[in-house]
Structure 1
Amino acid sequence: MKAWGSFRHKNLYPFKSSSEGLSPVVGSLLLLLIVFVLAGVIASSINLSEGGTNFQPPFVKITLESCEGGIYGTGPVSNWARFEENQIVLMHEGGESLPLDSISIRISGYGNSFQGNISNGSGKRIEGDVQVLYLDLSQKGKNQGYLKRNSAVLEDGSWDVGEKLILCGRDSDSGTTYSSVKVRVGGVEKTKDNYGFKAGSEITLMVIDSEGRNVIAERTAIVKLAE
């Protein structure tokens, strides 16, 4: 019995030594793994914070002061309004200055546009749900009327606190091959990029930071019949 006890003791001892030798190795591997995981988390946090900084929407207060207009060629004649009589007045009341070439505006509501040339009878009037997109607010792709109404804002290329921006249903520079105002009625996209909204209906207007694709202001208004 003593011989068997001695044999068992001698054979079990090497296993104990072996496990004790492995413990520091396993500990080192676990430590390295933890270091790599922490390094990855820190790197990800830095990248996310840098990315978030680049696309933070500007802080501004934009109000919709007035919205007048109407559509032409349908309903009582007393309610008709030309495209140029459709005007929306926006006021920058506080916050950051907005570079005109990096801000877009979307307007949606019920109204009309047209295709072709109405003056010579070859045009076609289109009525329905209207989507208007100002790709930017600079003078590029706009007509002279837009430039005159917004001369103060356009002077330095920035929409600053206390300045008004006036949009009109005939802002598109249709005399050139490029217009920065895009108008769609229903599923029809190839319009003359002019628009009118029905008096008494509601429109929704969004001011968008084009770079970060963030909505920085959203307003609704009831269209008042143009006088």
Structure 2
Amino acid sequence: MKTWGKIRAKEFFSSESVSDAVTPIIGSLLMLIVLVVLASVTAISFSNIANEGKSTQPLMARISLESCEGGLSSTNFSEINDEETANFQKNRIVLLHKGGDSLPLDTISIKISGDGNAYQGIVTGGGHLLYGDTQVIYENLGSKEKNNTYANQNDALLKDGFWSVGERLTLHGRDRWKSDISTVKVSVNGDSDTSNNYGFKAGSEITLKVIDIKSSNVIAEQKVIVKHAVS
């Protein structure tokens, strides 16, 4: 009887020892799993923060105003190509991307301001020219609601939708598609009821800004004297 009792006691003792040994191992495994999960969550969080920071960085680029020619438009054809006047289509600005980010055409706008003029009304129906403080806004640089001349002159940019280093952007006084449906907006002395064409006085100074629409950041700003357009 004593022998059986010793065997039973020994068996019970062994069972408890195994249980005590397994418990710490399971605890360690659970802690390891928790640490792995926490590490993964932290890594994802930092990745998202990094991506968000990258996506919200303002665009930066060096834009050079390579040439600017023009003149006020006139309804008197005898005055065309005198010291101040030129047809709207003779007003031409060429910009060169010299370095920095490639600029997406659909999120970049251009604002030009200076002493100029625009047409108001219908050419064959009693329209007239407005003169004074002229503001021109290209709501985006894509081909949407602009005429074929704009598309042809800027074919290289429009192919991939980006204004990249080494590429030139050409603007001229008749880039709009229609007077009432256009992404080129023109106002004179605050009056925006125009045909959205424009001319700037030869010999006067204009200011041109390239703007990131999303951040409202001015990417580039330049002032230049308008040279008289060559006939």
Query: Is the shorter-chain TM-score for this pair beyond 0.5, marking a shared fold?
Result: yes
Give the aligned partner of residue 165 of structure 2. Answer: 161
AA matched with 2:100? G
Superposed counterparts of 1:75-90, under 5 Å: 77=79, 78-79=82-83, 80-90=85-95
Deviation at 1:53, TM superposition (A): 4.6
- Contact preservation (8 Å) 2:74, 2:87: no
Aligned-partner Cα distance in 2 for 1:70–1:158: 30
Pairing 1:109-148 to 2, within 5 Å after superposition: 109-118=114-123, 120-148=124-152
* 2:219 is aligned with 1:216: yes
State the alpha-carbon separation in 1 of the partners of residues 161 and 119 from structure 2: 31
Distance 1:215 1:84, change over 3 A: same
**Which whole-Å CA distance do the structure 2 matches of 1:102 and 1:201 have between them?**
29
Residues 70 and 228 in structure 2, CA contact (< 8 A), matched pair in contact too? yes
- Specify the SS of the correspondent of 1:155: helix
Alignment: residue pair count: 179
Residue 185 of structure 1 pairs with residue 182 of structure 2: no
Q: Residues 82-131 of structure 1, C-alpha deviation per residue, up to 9 Å, x if partnerless?
A: 0000000000011111110010000000000011122x252111000000
Matched, 1:55 2:60: no
Q: CA deviation at 1:178?
A: 2.0
Amino acid at match of 2:136: V
Seq. identity, %: 52
Partner of 1:28: none
2:11: which partner in 1?
none
Match of 1:20 in 2: none
2:200 alignment partner, one of 188, 197, 200: 197
Q: Which amino acid aligns with 1:92?
A: H
Q: Partner residue of 1:3?
A: none
Query: Offset of 1:49 from its aligned partner?
Result: 8.8
Compute the displacement of 1:51 (Å): 7.0
Q: For residues 211 and 127 of structure 1, what CA distance do their matches in structure 2 show?
A: 32
For 1:209, give the aligned amino acid.
D
Which runs of 5 or more residues in structure 1 are unaligned? Answer: 1-47
**Counterpart for residue 28 of structure 2:** none
CA–CA distance in 1 between the matches of 2:73 and 2:143? 27
Using the alignment, how far apart are the partners of 1:188 and 1:49 within structure 2?
A: 45
- Higher mean C-alpha displacement, 65-74 vs 94-103: 65-74
Which 10-residue stretch deviates more, 166-175 or 100-109?
Answer: 166-175
Residue 111 of structure 2: SS of its match in structure 1? strand
2:209 and 2:215 map into 1 onto residues whose CA distance is 14
Please list every run of at least 4 consecutive aligned residues from structure 1 whose deviation after the TM superposition is greater than 3 angstroms.
48-55
Q: TM (normalized to structure 2)?
A: 0.72
Output the amino acid matched with 1:90.
L
Structure 2 gaps of 5+ residues are: 1-48
Tell me if structure 2 keeps the 8 A contact 1:55–1:211. Answer: no
Tell me if the contact between 1:108 and 1:132 (Cα under 8 Å) persists in the aligned partners: yes
Code of the residue aligned with 2:64 in structure 1: it is T
Structure 2 SS opposite 1:184: strand
- The structure with more radius of gyration: 2
RMSD of aligned residue pairs (Cα, Å): 2.2
